[in-house]
Amino acid sequence: MLSAPSSFSQPPSHISFLSTAHILLPPSRSTMAAASPLCRCAVPAVLRTSWTDANPGRRFFGCANYRGANACNYFRWIDPPLKDNIKRLVLALHKRIREVERRNDRSSFV
């Protein structure tokens, strides 16, 4: 009788969960270049991701000079508002990813 090795019966489900979330985060360069509107500085706005509690993981376009002396404060959401349950899920996943990354950083210095 055939049976799967025990290592396959218990995959580390949290790891695939985290890496899936990670893949969604960085926008592709080509998408940015094609879709970037001009801010009031007349330069292409930069695609960023909000990590506030109110809008975790929600993408927006902002002034490329953001926090610079000549920033125009251009701001435009790309993604629709998140449902509360999704906010909680994204915040929990983000926190988890940061913890894992911190742990990996520490172990690489040992």
Whichever of 32 and 41 has its CB closer to Zn ion, that residue is: 41
Site string for Zn ion, 74-93 (x = CB under 5 A): x-------------------
Q: How far apart are CA 48 and CA 27, in angstroms?
A: 9
Residue type, 31: T
Query: Shortest Cβ distance from residue 47 to Zn ion (Å)?
Result: 14
Residue 2: helix, strand or coil by DSSP? coil
The two structure tokens encoding residue 6:
């025990």
Whichever of 72 and 89 has its CB closer to Zn ion, that residue is: 72
The two structure tokens encoding residue 29:
């360069």
Instruction: Point out which span in 6-14, 56-64, 80-88, 91-99 binds Zn ion (CB under 5 A).
Output: 56-64
Which helix (H) or strand (E) element contains residue 18? helix 13-24
47 binds Zn ion, rule: CB under 5 A: no
Interface with Zn ion (CB under 5 A): 39, 41, 63, 72, 74
